[in-house]
Homo-oligomer: A and B are copies of this chain.
Amino acid sequence: MKKIFRLQSMILTVLMACTMVIPGMCQVSVQKENSSAAIGRQLNLMPLPTQVSRENGLFRLDTTFAIAVMGKAGHRIFPYASRILRRLSNRTGLFFDQDYVNPDYGPDSAKMVIHIDHPVKLHLGMDESYQLQVTPQKISLTANTDVGALRGLETFLQLLKSDSTGYYIPAVNIHDAPRFKWRGLMMDCSRHFMTVAVLKRNIDGMAAMKLNVFHWHLSDDQGFRAQSKTFPKLTGDGSDGKYYSQAQIKDIIHYADQRGIRVVPEFDMPGHTSSWFVGYPKLASAKRTYRIQRYFGAFYPVMNPTQKYTYDFISKFLKEMTTLFPDAYFHIGGDEVRGKQWNNNKKIQAFMKAHHLKNNEELQSYFNRHLLKMLTRDHKKMIGWGEILQPGMPHNIVIQSWRGTSAMVKAAKKGYKSILSNGYYIDLVQPTDVLYLNNPLPPGLPLTPEQKKNILGGEATMWAEFVKPGTVDSRIWPRMAAIAEVFWSVHAPDVNIPGGYMTSVPDSIMTPKVRFEVHDMYRRLDIVSNQLEELGLRFKSNYPVMLRRLAGDNDIKALKCFVNTVEPVKIYRRPNERTYTQYSPLTRVVDAARPDSKVVRNFRYLVYNYLHEKNNSADTYKQIEQWLRTWKNNNSDLQETIKKSPILDEISPLSKKLSGISEIGLQALVYKTTSEKAGRDWEMNSMKTLKAANQPLAQVRLMVVKPIEELVMSVGPHLVNQSNK
């Protein structure tokens, strides 16, 4: 009965995708698209599973649907499966008979049977594979471990479909396992404190996307966030009262564990430690009083690694924290140590001479070796940022590579295990496609198969200079889901995007195949986004909240229309352009604007199609014209809102510019479709206006400049190679 839709489903998928927005680029995809990936796309799965085949028929859902668990089940599966049942019920509105999934249900009374060989204690490299078989009669989920079963349950839920008869699960056969062992998200809870509720809903999102490491950045210059009973002044003096009690920490660890997610704590040492010194100034390398750092950056305060006091302190501290956090890995930070305090301290200089430590790197390495000894004593493995890879460090540490892939390659060659974070700095608000094409193991990496095994996976980093609980979700999601696909799926695009600081995908990488893969990722991401917000994530729902606050008591329509066309300035432009503190408001237009505007993306597709495709262009033309007309006319309404809400003053000029360039775009359409022709003056003036509109203002950037410019260039014979990059 088995029928693997090789070509058939491929074509289907591709057609589905193509008819939506990008016709014409299907040829390549049809030839190269892998069958399982094609079916995975067709089923809107994310991350794409390793192997999928479609079978005959479908499994209809009704209120008698129930789940039974067999085998050595452990403690995670029952509450997890109960939550799946609830989510299924919430989505379908079905009043299921089954209340909770519990051992009372046997395989005969349940239409879905989960079989687990054994539960696991979470660890790096745990078995997360699962098999999911759906027939019209029965659903069977089999996994070696309970964590594998959790991953399979998320796939199961994504399979829910409906037709006019009701809800169903298509018959499928799925074999799935992760590509990488370490699939993480780091959240910085120091620069701005994140409540327990924020962490929990993000952990739920992580589990839905099959991520398995929550890296918890708990200390930095701007605040110490984990309660220590041994050293109560760490939070007592260094947190403004914003910290996690040990009970809350245990609660978060348990919550994550129940979802198959390891919690790796980070206490950044010896730099980024101002907040430690507020209560314990003797730890520092310069004798003075310290206050919590209110600004952002890399500062001078650094631990004194030459005195017994420091090691006694850290020894006791680690003893306490390694007991509190059960994971085998412990992150000691180690990044951005600035030498000033060491250089200016005569005792430290003397110590370095006496111990033949030639420079500050060697002094940090000396410090790290002490830490490593303590962690080993406490049965932990050390992980740290790239800087900890220094001569003399043993091979059982893990390097978190943040400054570039080359550092990771170097580490792997030397036999060090590492994870990639460079290119996954989601605080830099890059668009999703740039992140999606970043790959911990891209083609052409100069590593032997053995060395490749040293690349454990990757981690996205949510640094918190510019996020608070109200905005952090929108800076993580939905982009994180695309990254999760890269970490999990062997079907993620196989390209090598250069470096971590791109703000758009270079044309050289955008082959038709990659263009198709990116487009389909965005298509699935829209669907997955709605599912993610069911978990309480607020990346969509907080947008109108922010717009309402910005508009005061006025209608948000014009404001929304405008903000949909901008994105926050990217990479490090924001802190470079204006001085922020920990208590600056993060409620302006730049904070409401999303990293990857769907309106802009769709407009870009429309223009691309209009200029590069032959079919469908009448409708495409109409849509482009409509958008341009809307934007042109929006300015007068928005200026009315701005008058009544001074927080919007800063965008007033940009709103005018949007109107101006939209008018230019409309004129280009006229030249495109009538006998009227553009002249050199219009061309040059238009490009000048577009160039001016391309300049960021109020820390946001008009993202429709580029496609409008393309329209202008397509009608301007004098404009070859004049694009405003």
Contacts and interface: CB of A to CB of B under 8 A. Distances in A.
B545 A162 contact: no
Interface string A86-100: 100111111110011
A470 B79 contact: no
Contacts of A541: 538, 541-542, 544-545
A590 to B, nearest CB: 10
A350 interface: no
A646 interface: yes
Contacts of A241: 79
B585 A164 contact: no
A91 B166 contact: no
Interface in A595-646: 643-646
B585 A162 contact: no
Nearest to A549: B534
Interface in A350-394: none
A582 B82 CA distance: 13
Interface in A153-173: 162, 164-167
A584 B533 CA distance: 20
A585 B88 CA distance: 9
Contacts of A92: 585, 646-647
Count this chain's copies in the assembly. 2
Contacts of A582: 99
Nearest to A88: B585
A494 interface: no
A245 interface: yes
A552 interface: yes
Contacts of A195: 197
Interface in A527-559: 527, 530, 533-534, 536, 538, 540-542, 544-545, 548-549, 552-553
Interface residues of A, number: 58
A108 to B, nearest CB: 22
A93 B549 CA distance: 10
A247 interface: yes
Given A162-B552, A530-B553, A644-B162, A583 B89 contact: yes
Given A167-B646, A538-B541, A588 B93 contact: yes
A196 interface: yes
A188 to B, nearest CB: 19
A89 B585 contact: yes
Contacts of A99: 294, 581-583
A583 B93 contact: no
A503 interface: no
Interface string A481-503: 00000000000000000000000
Given A536-B470, A643-B164, A95 B584 contact: yes
Contacts of A469: 536
Contacts of A322: none
A93 B587 contact: yes
A650 B583 CA distance: 49
Contacts of A544: 540-541, 544
A241 B166 CA distance: 33
A415 B549 CA distance: 48
A58 to B, nearest CB: 14
B162 A93 contact: no
A13 to B, nearest CB: 16
Contact of A587 (B91, B588, B643): B91
A516 to B, nearest CB: 20
Interface in A169-192: none
B533 A548 contact: yes
Contacts of A585: 86, 89-90, 92-95
Contact of A100 (B91, B166, B240, B548): B240
Given A89-B583, A585-B94, A585-B95, A545 B549 contact: no
Contact of A196 (B93, B197, B470, B581): B197
Nearest to A89: B585
A33 to B, nearest CB: 22
A94 B536 CA distance: 30
B553 A93 contact: no
6 contacts: A89-B585, A91-B587, A95-B585, A162-B644, A530-B549, A533-B548
Interface of A: 79, 86, 89-96, 99-100, 162, 164-167, 195-197, 240-241, 245, 247-248, 294, 469-470, 526-527, 530, 533-534, 536, 538, 540-542, 544-545, 548-549, 552-553, 581-588, 643-647, 650
The 9 closest A-B pairs by CB, nearest first: A197-B197, A93-B647, A541-B541, A90-B587, A89-B585, A247-B247, A166-B646, A90-B585, A541-B545
Given A86-B585, A526-B553, A544-B544, 10 more contacts: A86-B583, A93-B588, A93-B646, A99-B583, A100-B583, A162-B646, A247-B247, A470-B536, A538-B541, A540-B545
